[in-house]
Amino acid sequence: MKKLLFSMLFLAATNFVSAQSFDFGIKAGMVYNADKGAIKSFTNAVDAKGKGSAGFQAGVLSRISLIGFYVQPEVLYTSFKNEFDDANGQSFKVTKQRIDIPVNIGKKFLGIAHAQVGPVFSYYLDDKNSLKDIVNAKQDQFNVGFQIGAGVEISKLLINARYEFGLGKVGSTFMDKNNIEYQVENRPNLLNVSLTYLF
């Protein structure tokens, strides 16, 4: 009886493992930063909203199919901008650069469509600004967001759209040549449209 039970469990486990599939892919796309962001100076010389703009992302992913669903971890480089006006009315752009690790759970349906949802963990690299006389003093480095998306799949080609809701704000402190500090912050709300090829 024990041998029969063991054989049945072994057969079930073998079928379970063989039913899984693993795919690897490359991904690239456009990102639009829907959050305008805000800028403040510690002297109260400026307190204003900024402007969002487009950016891009690129990286690699894997897809592990399991019991009708799939898990899709990714490693992406993402870049996007906000534009601000300083105390003198001069415009400058702050470029956010980060490494993203989304882990989405997805479901395919209707043969060619899919829906995805899951968290994204972000590590922020040094912010860049377009003014030479303003330097980055310090910044937040980690943030967590939540993504929801959908797309279509044509053979090994995937077209996907996602919206990311930042669960917290990220900020940077800059200092100008007059030693006036500015703090910029935004809550990442990103729309990204990407193209993926699975090998």
Query: What is the per-residue pLDDT across 20-76, written as a single tens digit (0 to 9) for each?
Result: 689 999 999 999 988 877 777 766 555 567 787 889 999 999 999 988 899 999 999
CA dist 93 → 51, 119, 120, 158 (Å): 9, 28, 25, 32
- Return the structure tokens found at 35: 């959050």
d(Cα 30, Cα 76) in Å, to the nearest integer? 12
CA-nearest of 85, 87, 81 to 179 is 87
Share of the chain above pLDDT 70, in %: 82
All domains of the chain, ordered by start, with CATH? 20-198 (2.40.160.20)
d(Cα 59, Cα 78) in Å, to the nearest integer? 9
CA-nearest of 97, 120, 115 to 33 is 97
Whole-model pTM?
0.82
Query: What is the per-residue pLDDT across 161-181, written as a single tens digit (0 to 9) for each?
Result: 999 998 888 888 887 777 777
Mean pLDDT, rounded, for 136-157: 91
> Please, is 30 exposed, middle or buried when counting C-beta atoms within 10 Å of its C-beta (0-12, 13-18, 19+)?
middle
